[in-house]
Amino acid sequence: MSCSESLPPGDADNGGLTLPGGFEAVVVVDSIGKARHLAVNDNGDIYVKLRTEHPDGENIAMRDTDGDGKADIIEHWGQYDSVSNYGTAMRIHENYLYLSTSSQVFRHKLVRGKLLPEEQGELILFDDYKNAEHGYEHIAKPITFDESGHLYVPFGSPGDVCQVENRKPGSPGQYPCPQLEWHGGVWQFDANKPNQLQRDGKLYASGIRSIVAMEWNKEENTLYALQHGRDNFSRTWPDLYTPWQSALLPSEEFFRLEEGADGGWPYFYYDQLQQKKLINPEYADYAGDLGSPLDYEQPLVGFPGHFAPNDLLFYRGDQFPERYRNGAFIAFHGSTIRAPYPQGGYFIAFVPFKQGRPSGPWEVFADGFAGVDTIVNTSDAHYRPMGLAEGPDGSLYINESEKGKIWRIMFKGDRENFGNSQLMEMEKHKQLPHIKDPDEKLDNLDRGRAKAGEKLYSIYCGACHVADGKGDGTRYPPLNNSEYVNGDPNWLINLLLKGREGEITVNGQSFEGVMPPFDYLEDEQIAQVLTYIRQSFGNDSPSIQSPEVRRARWRIRRMEAKQAEEDI
């Protein structure tokens, strides 16, 4: 019996995925809940780390008993006393199942023949950072292991780029960055020693802002990882970066990390358009102290900004064609902050490797997760690829984080004659809106959103603020050149959601008009009309997106509920 004959049939539509010729996909399970990483045992049992709490357990174990590729036994297990369940890791090492919460790494003994591991886990590592209980920003705990008994865990940066005031526009960077002592790097630990704290480990590699995708390449005996780059250039430094530059930069850097490597965060970022590291604007005044950008680790590949690499797997099986062996699969979870351009990522990439280095350009291996090609808001995506694992027969398993769907990718074509003809269809996917570099003018989605906002403005706003946005001169203030319109977007969103009474001074003139709340409008409608106002009447401010409105609405409701409790 050939390898392909022993594999289960793929789904007729490959579970909604597009794959290179000769590959098939079967949906193993659907809708198990928001999931992070996964692992597959040598008997085919699958283990998944959930992102959210569940009364029956924060992990899932599943088994296919009849060989059709679909899980027919699904069990919840594992409860943890953690700061937050927002963990990431689920890996098998030396007959133990290792997993993480936001502040802990546990391991559970796998019992041969049994689906569920031993319930009583062993605490291997505790993140004792003094502010962990308040939640710093990059708390994911992916893990990997070398061949010498070591466990590797990254500790992400507490903020964006080590500013004096985190994420405040124009705030300078701290130099030297004090966060680098305990954050922004990878630490090495004993994989078998219980109850370790961060200080029990050794700093292995530094200057890396946030890692979720990381693996020890056994073929090269070396650590590899991908960095999540910093956020929102155009909002933090609007005079230096356009929204288009902010959508594409900085690069998501794919590193080969020898011990002592320094990726350059927070001082430098990689610009894949210019193919070089540049100094972050927060550190322009320290340029003379930082040395050359070439003194820092250079990426093997610079992927477009905000793709969000969330898992990495070096393929070691022999089911797939030989060109995939020892190459790197990367799960791109997808961007959230590329507006006003389409969100990017949401696919599985492949990087061919030879002798520890990429041997060709990166490729689109699996696409179709999002369900749409133009992703305006992250919530538009049906699925967001998250985890990768290799099965004992060389199948590739992929899970996503929105609903908890798992695919098994199998190759059933001609291994010996696999080549360009099978890859041509996937090459076209590089030109889809969620993968290609957007055109600065043609792909700016605000053009259409502002047009929709103009219609809403004429219905709801024009009667008071008049068609040219200059107000009526007595009761209703002008919108052109208004410090409120062009200032804090959250203030403006709250104004539409809550309304306003009382005096307000705009451009030196007082107004007493009453503005009713417009909370009955949908989030996208509010975002559209505010985008139109902020980009019309002589204004030239960044757009507002519906997720910002949704978050503001949620904050208002939370405050109102809290106030109601206090009034009882």
Are 562 and 454 in the same domain? yes
Ranges of beta strands (E only) in 175-292 are 185-190, 196-197, 202-206, 211-217, 222-227, 252-257, 268-271, 276-279
What phi, psi does 196 have (nearest 5°)?
A: -85, 150
Per-residue pLDDT at 566: 77
Is 479 within the bounds of a domain? yes
Residue 18 has pLDDT above 80, yes or no: yes
Report how far residue 27's alpha carbon sits from residue 12's, in angstroms, rounded to the nearest whole number. 11
Residue 511 Cα to chain centre, angstroms? 44
Report how far residue 124's alpha carbon sits from residue 89's, in angstroms, rounded to the nearest whole number. 13
Report how far residue 80's alpha carbon sits from residue 96's, in angstroms, rounded to the nearest whole number. 17
Are 311 and 434 in the same domain? yes
Report how far residue 189's alpha carbon sits from residue 199's, in angstroms, rounded to the nearest whole number. 10
Are 310 and 373 in the same domain? yes
Are 433 and 465 in the same domain? no
pLDDT tens track for 512-525? 778 889 999 999 99
Lowest mean pLDDT among 293-302, 354-363, 455-464: 455-464
Domains of the chain: total: 2
pLDDT tens track for 171-212? 999 999 999 999 999 999 999 999 999 999 999 999 999 999
* Whether the Cβ atoms of residue 149 and residue 190 lie closer than 8 Å to each other: yes
Buried b (16+ CB within 10 A) or exposed e, 398-413: bbbbbebbbbbbbbbb
Residue 417 has pLDDT above 90, yes or no: yes
* Whether the Cβ atoms of residue 266 and residue 280 lie closer than 8 Å to each other: yes
Report how far residue 311's alpha carbon sits from residue 212's, in angstroms, rounded to the nearest whole number. 6
Is 116 within the bounds of a domain? no
Residue 553: pLDDT band with limits 50, 70, 90: very high
Are 429 and 553 in the same domain? no
Is 173 within the bounds of a domain? no
* Whether the Cβ atoms of residue 349 and residue 429 lie closer than 8 Å to each other: no
pTM: 0.87
Report how far residue 44's alpha carbon sits from residue 46's, in angstroms, rounded to the nearest whole number. 6
pLDDT tens track for 58-110? 999 999 999 999 999 999 999 887 766 777 999 999 999 999 998 899 999 99
Is 485 within the bounds of a domain? yes
Is 522 within the bounds of a domain? yes
Tell me the three state secondary structure of residue 222.
strand
Q: Find the CATH number of the domain harbouring 530.
A: 1.10.760.10
Per-residue pLDDT at 1: 43
Lowest mean pLDDT among 129-133, 134-138, 354-358, 360-364: 129-133
Are 435 and 348 in the same domain? yes
Quote the percentage of the chain above a pLDDT of 90: 79
Last residue of a domain, one of 388, 408, 439: 439
Are 451 and 563 in the same domain? yes
Per-residue pLDDT at 130: 52
pLDDT tens track for 117-126? 998 899 999 9
Quote the percentage of the chain above a pLDDT of 70: 97
Are 409 and 498 in the same domain? no
Is 556 within the bounds of a domain? yes
Residue 135: pLDDT band with limits 50, 70, 90: low
Contacts of 324 (CB under 8 A, 6+ apart): 315, 350, 352
Is 532 within the bounds of a domain? yes
Tell me the three state secondary structure of residue 207.
coil
Per-residue pLDDT at 131: 47
Per-residue pLDDT at 134: 46
Are 310 and 435 in the same domain? yes
- In which domain, by residue range, is 354 found? 1-30+306-439
Per-residue pLDDT at 133: 46
* Helix ranges (DSSP H) in 224-361: 233-236, 243-248, 287-290
Tell me the three state secondary structure of residue 154.
strand
As a whole number, mean pLDDT of residues 317-330 equals 98
Task: Report the mean per-residue pLDDT for the chain.
Answer: 93
* Whether the Cβ atoms of residue 544 and residue 527 lie closer than 8 Å to each other: yes
The C-alpha torsion from 56 through 59 and 65 to 70, rounded to 10°, is 110
Lowest mean pLDDT among 386-395, 469-478, 552-561: 469-478
Last residue of a domain, one of 439, 462, 488: 439
Is 335 within the bounds of a domain? yes
Are 342 and 391 in the same domain? yes
Per-residue pLDDT at 83: 64
Last residue of a domain, one of 384, 413, 439: 439
Are 372 and 392 in the same domain? yes
Are 452 and 416 in the same domain? no
